[in-house]
Amino acid sequence: MTPVSPDKIKITDIARAANVSPGTVDRVLHGRGEVAEKTKKKVLSVIEKLGYKPNLLARSLATKKSFRFVSLLPEHRPGEYWESPEKGIDKAREEIRLYNVSVEKMYFDQFDAQSFVAASESLIAFKPDAALIAPMFRNDAVLLTERLLRNRIPCVYIDSNAEDEHYLSYFGQHSYQSGYVAARLTETGLPPGSEILMVRTIRISGTSNQIERREDGFSAYFRDKGLTDKYRLIRTKLSVDNDSDNRKELTAVFEKHRNIRAAVVFNSRAYQLADILNKLKIKNIKLIGYDLSGDNIARLKDGSISFLIAQRPEEQGYRGIMALCDRVVFNGEINRINYMPIDIIAKENVDYYETTPRANA
Amino acid sequence: MTPVSPDKIKITDIARAANVSPGTVDRVLHGRGEVAEKTKKKVLSVIEKLGYKPNLLARSLATKKSFRFVSLLPEHRPGEYWESPEKGIDKAREEIRLYNVSVEKMYFDQFDAQSFVAASESLIAFKPDAALIAPMFRNDAVLLTERLLRNRIPCVYIDSNAEDEHYLSYFGQHSYQSGYVAARLTETGLPPGSEILMVRTIRISGTSNQIERREDGFSAYFRDKGLTDKYRLIRTKLSVDNDSDNRKELTAVFEKHRNIRAAVVFNSRAYQLADILNKLKIKNIKLIGYDLSGDNIARLKDGSISFLIAQRPEEQGYRGIMALCDRVVFNGEINRINYMPIDIIAKENVDYYETTPRANA
DNA sequence: TTTATTTCCGTGTGCGCACACGGAAATAAA
DNA sequence: TTTATTTCCGTGTGCGCACACGGAAATAAA
């Protein structure tokens, strides 16, 4: 509560030092043209010399611009994974509201590629100033981002990386490495000779490459460490919804492989496997899964799941939106690839895991 | 880039609706008095009805107030633990500079209680508007915060919780629970009959209660799970600096206890134990430690350390300062206890662990 | 009742910037 | 050389708020 801070130079200081009017400084700052080359150079050199930094508060207050962002996520129900990224988006939205940024939320059905295409059309028609996208359908996502790019609309991907060149920035996990971590957790303390069950859930529209790369990383760990003789990797597939088929399949697998001591599920449905194993009375299986959905947390707490790997989904949404804001509103630079931490969650630390980015003023 | 956002109500809207002048609304908003009781009620009801939210940008721009914060941390060198909280403080400082908040950094010697007392005097003399403190010397920290409280200066603790009533808010780990997590990691895959070495580093001015509670949590895990027959906990003490004494001590311990298969160090010096074990050619010890100092990370990567438990030190500093800002600058409410996640770090995920809170505009 | 005091409130200015408007100077066209 | 056009720049206003100032109305003191 002392007197106001000193030595902040402002546009009028620049103007005085450069012998021009504030209006001219403004034109130079915004590259609006209508300034003689000589004058422009003079002003720029003064700006440089005095180290002028615009007051973002005043700028936002004065500007009449507003910005419309769009997010495109899978539809979801309470407790499901996608609730978390959306929470992060909401938090960011609240924080940048004062900068005249609005965020319109759009959705698609994650089991229906056609719904993604339809949503893409709506998104394009909306003419947003920026977009945050969960590119679950690789090809359609690329088509969408190509069109956005053509209109100079920046685009951030979260969750899974489509590996094309059409997005501004990616916030998500390094899937391959997360598989490596899953393998490390699986191996720790596992008796030699054990068999390890790798579970893939069949999806209607094909497995995402995110899941595939988790599996790749997982397998690679055992190869890289020369553990392929010590352990044996068994693969099986489960259906998303057909419970009785799944039981039959697993019964057969465990019949055939008597030494399965660990199992890994590479999507967020580890709870499904936990439930089936419970029903089949198969015990003492070390189960590793992904993502902190409500169901997974419950199984983690009751001991059916040993470890879950998390990827700060809220932070993905939050930082994705903030990056777009930095870019569009403040003309900042954004890191292209932003890998999230690969968080290891056990029963003992799950209650203290909060992905929530801080709320600020 | 569409027209400016609508329906934002401002002070003049309140004034019109309440049949008063903007100045009167302002007096009510700030509780400056000089308003008749009846008028005040009228204005408040209109504010309520229209759901007025002040524009923080305009408020900060218009206000002539400025705020001086102080941080009080242990001195440290590059790569050491305390660099991280300081990084978070710097980040927060940058973000709230526009709100006329400055952060003055003060330091003490973490091995010299007297230096903390001296720093306390400087801090008080500085008359800050808020303080962020690492309360490593419990009693002296309490004395300091009592004096701050008397002057109505809000005070945030980070890292360790002194458990008194004199601070506004705490950002740090639940130490007891983090010991529990350490125990879980230690136990996973450990052969029955193993002995577990619990290492305490002797400090000149007594062990902090943070460390003690980690130990408590660790021991409690084995009791709670009924594992006291299965494993045996061995305790030993090491000196901070006397390497040869430490070697002798450890040689004797391992001489006596032939079944030690795991060791835990409860402060950030796990690398010290790793180095001694290397020199003594003691192998195959599963080593668990705390905090991502440069030395610890190196040992994690070369395999001497199995797991480290981290506590988002940058986030502690960042959120601590931001909380003070919310409170002092924006009159917000702050959560009193803010436990950090208990992060599990292994060789496989350490490169993706960033505690850095996002940089924003 | 008159004057002094207090209570209460409205008006005006500035925070640092964006941006519209209009006009002088320089240049091009007649 | 005169007029039309373009280039270039300065001035003025408003964003939403905090806060100083001063004055009218109400009350207290004389």
Q: Is it the case that residue A203 has pLDDT exceeding 70?
A: no
Q: CA B12 to CA A285: how far, in whole Å?
A: 67
The pLDDT value given to residue B358:
46
Tokens of B47: 């504010």
Tokens of A69: 């962002």
Tell me the average pLDDT across A275-299: 92
Cβ contacts of residue A324 below 8 Å, gap of 6+? A69, A130, A131, A132, A154, A156, A168
A314 interface with B at CB cutoff 8 Å = no
Q: Mean pLDDT for chain A?
A: 88
Q: Is it the case that residue A311 has pLDDT exceeding 70?
A: yes
Searching chain B, which residue's CA lies closest to the CA of residue A191? B189
B337 interface with A at CB cutoff 8 Å = no
> Can you name the residues that pair with B155 across neighbouring β-strands?
B131
Chain B residues with CB-CB distance to A3 below 8 A: 64, 66
Tell me the average pLDDT across A51-71: 90
Three-state DSSP class for A244? helix
Q: Identify the helix (H) or strand (E) that includes residue B200.
A: strand B195-202
Q: Which band of pLDDT confidence, cut at 50, 70 and 90, is reported for residue A359?
A: very low
Per-residue exposure over A296-310, b if at least 16 CB sit within 10 Å of its own CB, e if not: bbebbeeebbbbbbb
The pLDDT value given to residue A261:
94
Closest nt to B28 (CA→C1')? C9
CA A37 / C1′ C30 distance in Å: 29
The answer to whether the beta carbons of residues A219 and A187 sit under 8 Å apart is no
Are B322 and A353 an interchain contact pair (Cβ–Cβ within 8 Å)? no
The pLDDT value given to residue B211:
87
Q: CA A17 to CA A47: how far, in whole Å?
A: 9
The answer to whether the beta carbons of residues B107 and B119 sit under 8 Å apart is yes
Q: CA A324 to CA A330: how far, in whole Å?
A: 9
Beta sheet of B169-172, edge-to-edge order: B101-108, B67-74, B130-133, B155-159, B169-172, B337-339
Are A174 and B352 an interchain contact pair (Cβ–Cβ within 8 Å)? yes
Three-state DSSP class for A235? strand
Cβ contacts of residue B319 below 8 Å, gap of 6+? A358, B88, B92, B171, B338, B357
User: Does B11 contact strand D, using a CB cutoff of 7 Å?
Assistant: yes
What one-character-per-residue DSSP string does B253-269 give? HHHH-TTEEEEEESSS-
Chain A 251-310, CB below 8 Å of chain B: which residues? none
Q: CA B76 to CA B340: how far, in whole Å?
A: 22
- CB A97: neighbour CB atoms within 10 A? 14
Higher local confidence (pLDDT), B319 or A79 = B319
Higher local confidence (pLDDT), A17 or A201 = A17
- CB A221: neighbour CB atoms within 10 A? 20
A188 interface with B at CB cutoff 8 Å = yes
Three-state DSSP class for A184? helix
Chain B residues with CB-CB distance to A102 below 8 A: 5
Asked which of A330-339, B73-82, B200-209, B223-232 is least confident by mean pLDDT, the reply is B200-209
Q: Is it the case that residue A162 has pLDDT exceeding 90?
A: no
End-to-end Cα spacing for chain A = 19
Q: Which of residues 12-51 of A touch strand D (CB under 7 A)?
A: 19-24, 26-27, 34-40
Q: CA B224 to CA B211: how far, in whole Å?
A: 20
Cβ contacts of residue A246 below 8 Å, gap of 6+? A238, A239, A272, A276
Which residues of the protein are close to the nucleic strand C, CB under 7 angstroms? A 8, 10-12, 22-23, 26, 29-30, 52, 54-55, 58-59, 61-65; B 19-24, 27, 34-40, 58, 61-62
Chain A residues with CB-CB distance to B55 below 8 A: 61, 98
Higher local confidence (pLDDT), B205 or A37 = A37
Percent of chain A whose predicted confidence (pLDDT) is above 70: 93
Among the partner-chain residues B5, B56, B181, the one whose CB lies closest to the CB of A66 is: B5
Q: Is it the case that residue A172 has pLDDT exceeding 90?
A: yes
In terms of Cβ atoms closer than 10 Å to its own Cβ (0-12, 13-18, 19+), residue A132 is buried
Q: Identify the helix (H) or strand (E) that includes residue A325.
A: helix A313-328
SS3 content of chain B, % helix, strand, coil (to 5): 45, 20, 35
Q: How far does the CA of residue A174 sit from the closest CA of chain B (Å)? A: 8
CA A49 / C1′ D12 distance in Å: 29
Q: Is it the case that residue A95 has pLDDT exceeding 70?
A: yes
Higher local confidence (pLDDT), A104 or A205 = A104
Cβ contacts of residue A1 below 8 Å, gap of 6+? B65, B66, B67, B129
Chain B residues with CB-CB distance to A93 below 8 A: none
Tell me the average pLDDT across B101-122: 93
Best CA proximity match to B147, nearest among B171, B122, B172, B170: B122
Q: Which band of pLDDT confidence, cut at 50, 70 and 90, is reported for residue B6?
A: very low
The answer to whether the beta carbons of residues A189 and B189 sit under 8 Å apart is yes
Chain B residues with CB-CB distance to A61 below 8 A: 55, 57-58, 61
Chain A 24-63, CB below 8 Å of chain B: which residues? 55-58, 60-61
Q: Which of residues 246-265 of A touch strand D (CB under 7 A)?
A: none
Tell me the average pLDDT across B76-82: 89
Residue matched to tokens 């929470």: A87
Tell me the average pLDDT across A64-84: 91
Nucleotides of C under 7 A from a protein CB: 7-12, 14-21
Q: How far does the CA of residue A241 sit from the closest CA of chain B (Å)? A: 33
Q: CA B255 to CA B278: how far, in whole Å?
A: 16
Best CA proximity match to A107, nearest among A86, A93, A78, A129: A86
**Considering Cα of A105, then A108, then A110, then A116, what sign does the dihedral take?**
negative
The pLDDT value given to residue A270:
94
Chain B residues with CB-CB distance to A64 below 8 A: 3-4
- CB A83: neighbour CB atoms within 10 A? 16
Q: Identify the helix (H) or strand (E) that includes residue B290.
A: strand B286-290
Q: Mean pLDDT for chain B?
A: 88
Residue matched to tokens 């006329």: B100
Tell me the average pLDDT across B132-151: 90
Cβ contacts of residue B307 below 8 Å, gap of 6+? B182, B185, B288, B289, B300, B344, B345, B346
CA B4 / C1′ D5 distance in Å: 35
Q: Which band of pLDDT confidence, cut at 50, 70 and 90, is reported for residue A207?
A: low
Q: Which band of pLDDT confidence, cut at 50, 70 and 90, is reported for residue B350?
A: very high
Tokens of B258: 């032939």
Q: CA B158 to CA B88: how far, in whole Å?
A: 12
Q: Which band of pLDDT confidence, cut at 50, 70 and 90, is reported for residue A249?
A: confident
CA A206 / C1′ D18 distance in Å: 60
The pLDDT value given to residue A196:
97
Q: Is it the case that residue B47 has pLDDT exceeding 80?
A: yes
Are A98 and B55 an interchain contact pair (Cβ–Cβ within 8 Å)? yes
Tell me the average pLDDT across B141-158: 91
Higher local confidence (pLDDT), B75 or B189 = B75
Are B56 and A360 an interchain contact pair (Cβ–Cβ within 8 Å)? no
Tell me the average pLDDT across B59-76: 92
Cβ contacts of residue B252 below 8 Å, gap of 6+? none
Searching chain A, which residue's CA lies closest to the CA of residue B333? A361
Q: Is it the case that residue A360 has pLDDT exceeding 80?
A: no
Q: What pTM value is reported for the model?
A: 0.89
Residues in chain B: 361
